[in-house]
Chain A
Amino acid sequence: MTPASYNPYQRVLQDFKNAATQITSCGHDAEEVETIEMIAESIRRFGERNIDEARIDAEARIPPDLLQKMAEMGLFGLTIEKEYGGVGLSMKGACRVCECLAQLDRSVSVTVGLHAGLGLRGLNYFGSQELKERYLPDLATGKLIAAFSITEPDAGSDIASVRTTAVEDGDELVINGSKCFVTNGSFAGITTIVARTPGLMGSRRGHSLILVPLDRPGIQRDKEEHKLGIKGSSTCSIHFEDVRVPKNHILGRPSRGLDHMNHVLSWGRTLMAGGCIGLAASAFRRSIEQVTNRRQFNRPIGEFGMVREMLARMRFLVYAMESTIRLTTHLEDEQPESIVWESSVAKVFNSESAWQVADDAVQLHGGSGFIEETGVARLLRDCRITRIFEGANELLRFHLAAAAYTWKPGPLLESPRLKPHLDASLQECGQVFDTILPKLAGILKTKKKTHGLKIFQRQMDQRKIADVAISLYVMLAVLVRAQGELEAGRLSTEMLLWTRLGVHDLAHRATSNLGTLEDNLDDVASQIAAIECDRAGCPLKETVS
């Protein structure tokens, strides 16, 4: 997924000053920041007047007039260049907008985010001038809404096993196959698909990304799926039977579809992780209202230690999620091709943190949190899918760990030193990072020595390694941010508190995972699972943990 010897921490530390300056803003430059602030304010008002999130959830759809208003508002043009009638926001700016939308309603945010991210990235980045001129103007006004169709009933995480095919016939491609769980599926006017394209243009094998207008003959959409959360967003299956599109609808290079897909997914994941911030911020805001108003034992419940502990965790998680997105999108700004690793970290960390924050919010609301009318239960339901879609967190952990195994040991891993970059007030936190990273390097080395190539099968190790790597990256993001804010004279007292608690908590998680990498009962866990599957009549072949 990334070149061998690539080290994400080194990448940030080598260019620390620049990263520290850039991470303090939510846009690519001052002009974009001003635009985004105006957009954020407009979206807040748009939401106040037009969005009834309880109704969206109850009716399990975004009302057509709301969709119309979203289009009139220009929301579908976020990531489309100005020359095609869009706003042309950077990834950083688009993330901030997805965050604002998710504060209002996660279904609305997913609908827009999917269109702006996964739906359009292929066309925006790999599409020919001709295709862009033909489709982008209508996509910017919302006349066309975009979808992204990759998953099939038998191809989820193992995406190379898709069965949908696109075969050459003269100047056209003939597409056959079925895609499921297509977000925006029922109203999308165009979709990017991943199809098997054997023999295409001389290649022996491979997959291609293809842009398919959904008004072609041979396309059939199934009914809406009934979902646990983000009920307002549309999800359905789409079937392609002898669907013909011109050959120039291939996005990027033929048979390089899986590589291109990784690039597109890094956009989609990052935007989705940006949305997680908004949902968590909304859960946190409601929780503050709750703990200051709800009285038990003659006092507001916010006075109790266990409640404060939860509030503090929620607060720094929101801050850490935001910092992670800021750092990741800054890196994308510098080098658009290579944030696959970082965007996966952002996706895993933000989806799980948002889940934690939404779960705490329900807990703080007590019994009423479990009642739908209160509204926090919906946040929890809406949040759940983010740990699954756009790459299940387990799959991403596998890739994160696999990449870690390719980092060159020795100086490259041991040399990153964060502490010297930091102000005196942050050095203690920096020291924590500098202590943990070499420990991870040590373990990677030992594991490789002990298990050889088998390390790629040892998923229980991979899970822990990925978690240490994630903790370190988020720690780095939080500390780069703190240093940046400090240099800009904006590091407030509370930000410093969030940073300290955040780094401490992440270090604790990392240390615990490092410990269990050496001392664990993974083989016992593996055995238990094997016994149970065996008992069910399906013995597992592999018993490698």
Chain B
Amino acid sequence: MKIFVTTKRVTDPDVKIKVKPDGSGIATEGIDYKVNPFDEIAVEEAIRINEKQGGEVVVVSIGSGASTKEVRSGLAMGAQRGILVKTDDYLDSLGTATVLKKIVDDEKPDLILMGKQAVDGDNNQVGQILADMLGYAQACFASKIELGDDQKTARVTREVDGGFDHVEVDLPAVITADLRLNEPRYASLPGIMKAKKKPINEMELSSLGLDTTPKVVWHKFSEPAERKAGIKVPDVPTLVSKLKDEAKVL
């Protein structure tokens, strides 16, 4: 079984980010980058399926040349090869899905696994758009994935309010990973060394002849308004009256 799994290079979610003074974007000085955590969960799932079923796991990424590092980290976890579409341009969700569709058309994987969203833009759209463009079934926010014996279907469990939602999809399909699907492994040192020798096919976005002009553009970034300091109230009646008259929440 050939599995595609996407990884995006995102700013380290554990670091506090700052907006550039002119509001044109995020200040990138001294910022660390990591693999989008949901993508890592997808990579882990792909590798687990691969360990059972055999076949191939291909890590696909779109981004600057520096994104090879994130592709390489998927290879260090156990994927077999990588594809990197290089561009320094901003792509919106539609643009990203357009590029991915082109790669899928060329490579024809049996299953596409993605993180449910990237933690930088938090758009949560690419998987859905891609499935639609390809005419594939989609099962988003997977907390469990079971492949059918014939490997032609997948039964996907999704966590919903008050219970679980079970979906069965025909393959090929797009499945996006939620937080509790698995706990991604850490790469071992031999794994990291082996990853250096695994192939990464790099191509320029401009050479693919696709229209990826963003439909969604960023106009301005700003810091969230600073929270005002709270006040102490002497007793419950004052609290109730303030909630009623000032906050107007009662």
Give residues in A with beta carbon < 8 Å to B: 31, 34-35, 37-39, 41-43, 45-46, 49, 72-75, 77-78, 82, 85, 87, 492
- Alpha-carbon gap, A342 to B190, bound state (A): 32
Binary CB contact string for chain B from 163 to 204 against chain A (1 if under 8 A, 0 otherwise) = 000000000000000000000001111111101100000000
Would you call B189 and A87 a contact (CB within 8 A)?
A: yes
B14 to chain A, nearest CB (A): 10
Give 11 A-B contacts (CB < 8 Å), ordered by A residue.
A34-B72, A35-B192, A35-B193, A37-B69, A38-B73, A38-B76, A39-B189, A42-B187, A73-B186, A74-B191, A87-B189
- Alpha-carbon gap, A34 to B193, bound state (A): 11
Would you call A74 and B190 a contact (CB within 8 A)?
A: yes
A41 touching B73 in the complex, CB below 8 Å, given contacts A31-B196, A492-B30: yes
- Alpha-carbon gap, A492 to B192, bound state (A): 31
A38 touching B188 in the complex, CB below 8 Å, given contacts A31-B196, A87-B193, A492-B30: no
- Alpha-carbon gap, A35 to B189, bound state (A): 9
- Alpha-carbon gap, A38 to B75, bound state (A): 11
Which residue in A38, A75, A492 is a CB contact (below 8 Å) of B187?
A38
The reply on B29 being an interface residue by CB < 8 A is: yes
A64 to chain B, nearest CB (A): 19
Would you call A46 and B186 a contact (CB within 8 A)?
A: yes
A143 to chain B, nearest CB (A): 14
A223 to chain B, nearest CB (A): 32
| B-side contacts of A43, CB under 8 Å | 186
- Alpha-carbon gap, A77 to B29, bound state (A): 34
| A-side contacts of B188, CB under 8 Å | 42, 72-74
| B-side contacts of A74, CB under 8 Å | 188-191
| A-side contacts of B190, CB under 8 Å | 74, 77, 85, 87
| B-side contacts of A85, CB under 8 Å | 190
Of chain A, the residue at the smallest CB distance from B190 is A74
- Alpha-carbon gap, A37 to B72, bound state (A): 11
Known: A42-B76, A43-B186, A87-B190. 9 other contacts (CB 8 A): A35-B192, A35-B196, A38-B73, A38-B192, A46-B186, A74-B190, A87-B192, A87-B193, A492-B30
| A-side contacts of B73, CB under 8 Å | 38, 41
Of chain B, the residue at the smallest CB distance from A47 is B186
Would you call A45 and B186 a contact (CB within 8 A)?
A: yes
- Alpha-carbon gap, A74 to B193, bound state (A): 10
| B-side contacts of A77, CB under 8 Å | 189-190
| A-side contacts of B30, CB under 8 Å | 492
| A-side contacts of B193, CB under 8 Å | 35, 82, 87
- Alpha-carbon gap, A87 to B188, bound state (A): 11
Of chain A, the residue at the smallest CB distance from B76 is A38
| A-side contacts of B72, CB under 8 Å | 34, 38
- Alpha-carbon gap, A77 to B189, bound state (A): 8
- Alpha-carbon gap, A39 to B72, bound state (A): 12
- Alpha-carbon gap, A49 to B183, bound state (A): 10
| B-side contacts of A37, CB under 8 Å | 69
- Alpha-carbon gap, A395 to B90, bound state (A): 59
| A-side contacts of B196, CB under 8 Å | 31, 35
B233 to chain A, nearest CB (A): 20
Which residue in B29, B34, B69, B186 is a CB contact (below 8 Å) of A42?
B186
B18 to chain A, nearest CB (A): 13
- Alpha-carbon gap, A41 to B195, bound state (A): 15
A124 to chain B, nearest CB (A): 17
B29 to chain A, nearest CB (A): 7
A377 to chain B, nearest CB (A): 27
Of chain B, the residue at the smallest CB distance from A38 is B192
B69 to chain A, nearest CB (A): 6
Of chain A, the residue at the smallest CB distance from B30 is A492
- Alpha-carbon gap, A55 to B182, bound state (A): 27
| A-side contacts of B187, CB under 8 Å | 38, 42
- Alpha-carbon gap, A77 to B193, bound state (A): 11
- Alpha-carbon gap, A43 to B187, bound state (A): 9
B200 to chain A, nearest CB (A): 12
- Alpha-carbon gap, A43 to B186, bound state (A): 8
Of chain B, the residue at the smallest CB distance from A43 is B186
Would you call B189 and A75 a contact (CB within 8 A)?
A: yes
- Alpha-carbon gap, A5 to B228, bound state (A): 67
Of chain A, the residue at the smallest CB distance from B184 is A45
A341 to chain B, nearest CB (A): 32
- Alpha-carbon gap, A425 to B101, bound state (A): 52
- Alpha-carbon gap, A74 to B188, bound state (A): 6
A292 to chain B, nearest CB (A): 13
Considering the complex of A and B, which 5 residue pairs feature the smallest CB-CB distances, nearest first? A74-B189, A45-B186, A42-B186, A74-B190, A74-B188
B61-87 residues with Cβ-Cβ distance < 8 A to A are: 69, 72-73, 76
- Alpha-carbon gap, A492 to B29, bound state (A): 9
Of chain B, the residue at the smallest CB distance from A35 is B192
| B-side contacts of A82, CB under 8 Å | 193
- Alpha-carbon gap, A31 to B68, bound state (A): 12
- Alpha-carbon gap, A35 to B195, bound state (A): 10
- Alpha-carbon gap, A35 to B197, bound state (A): 12
Binary CB contact string for chain B from 1 to 39 against chain A (1 if under 8 A, 0 otherwise) = 000000000000000000000000000011000100000
A49 to chain B, nearest CB (A): 8
Would you call A34 and B69 a contact (CB within 8 A)?
A: yes
Q: In the complex, which of the residues B30, B76, B190 has the most CB atoms of chain A within 10 Å of its own CB atom?
A: B190
| B-side contacts of A73, CB under 8 Å | 186, 188-189
| B-side contacts of A492, CB under 8 Å | 29-30
- Alpha-carbon gap, A171 to B2, bound state (A): 58
- Alpha-carbon gap, A38 to B74, bound state (A): 11
